[in-house]
Structure 1
Amino acid sequence: MTSTTTLAAALPAEHRARLMRQAREVSFPAGTRLFEEGRRADRFWIVRTGTVVLDVHVPGRRAPVVESLGHGELVGWSWHFTPYVWQLGAEATSPVRAWEFDAAEVRDLCAADAEFGRAVATWVGRVVAHRLHATRIRLLDLYAPYGSGS
């Protein structure tokens, strides 16, 4: 992921500190599914250590990995947009330590402070744009006759 979408680069220090006050430390062993596409998105994570891959459901095929996430990267953006349903799946491919956030609490903070909410929305929007592009390229590489051409 690009440096503009990691937490450290995306949010000013004061907003980052406010968000991190909501964090709780969690860990996942390799092979743990963090979430499944189509299920309720009620939390999100920022990776501290380890690797999480994102995958997309393709009927009749194994879910292809569309992106790999590491330190400082946001895992999950669907919590920010109604209907709060995961658009991708996620799995830890190595032991992962992360900060976990309750989505409803963070959305409430965003609603209560427009400047904070705008900063979080801009960050999440950048992540969505990046993931959409990465997913498109990966699916073209896998299924288009001549790949993505990149």
Structure 2
Amino acid sequence: MTKAIKLLTALPQAQRERLMELAKEVSFPEDTRIFEAGGTADRFWVIRSGAVHLDQEVTARKRVTVGTLGAGDLLGWSWLFPPYQWDFGSVAFSNVRAYEFDGPSVLALCVEDPLLGLSLVRSVAEILAHRLEITRGRLMDEYALGRRSPL
């Protein structure tokens, strides 16, 4: 399995510095719902410390954790693709500190600096591919053990 891609370290330094000009430091106390599936996706975060669970509602009363993110991880990618709605929900598993980025501002920067845009989209694509690989591995492990899928 490949090593996780971290968005800020994947970008070349000059592009990372331009992106960081748009960063705002935020924090979320433990158990804070950061976003809900189906909500408007207009921002993203890079986690500085703490942990976040990604979840999916399976019934009106039950959510299933589908992933956990930590320091350096990208939280949120739906801001990049129409219809700009979250595919999952997200909750702070512990106290979280993060850099927050406004999606429309980042998209405008990508239009202004196409090289940064290409690097950013490639990095996000690599992150998503890595997460799909992890999920596939989990599903195969569950199948091999004769269990129902956790997803």
Q: What is the TM-score with the length of structure 1 in the denominator? A: 0.86
Which runs of no fewer than 5 residues in structure 1 stay unpaired?
none
Task: Give the root-mean-square deviation of aligned CA atoms.
Answer: 2.5
Question: Matches of 1:35 and 1:15 in 2, distance apart?
Answer: 27
Question: Matches of 1:59 and 1:125 in 2, distance apart?
Answer: 30
Instruction: Give the paired residue count.
Output: 148
Q: Percent identity?
A: 49
Q: Tell me which amino acid in the other structure corresponds to 2:87.
A: Q
1:93 deviation in Å? Answer: 0.6
**CA deviation string 1:38-63 (max 9, x = no partner):** 11101110111111111122246622
Q: 1:144 to 1:41 in 2, by over 3 A?
A: farther
Contact 1:10 1:123 in 2 (8 A): yes
SS in 1 for 2:63: coil
**CA deviation string 1:116-144 (max 9, x = no partner):** 00000001111222233344555676799
Contact 2:7 2:124 in 1 (8 A): no
Q: 1:140 to 1:34 in 2, by over 3 A?
A: farther
Question: Matches of 1:43 and 1:14 in 2, distance apart?
Answer: 22
SS in 1 for 2:86: coil
Q: 1:128 to 1:137 in 2, by over 3 A?
A: same
**CA deviation string 1:55-82 (max 9, x = no partner):** 1222466221111111111100111111
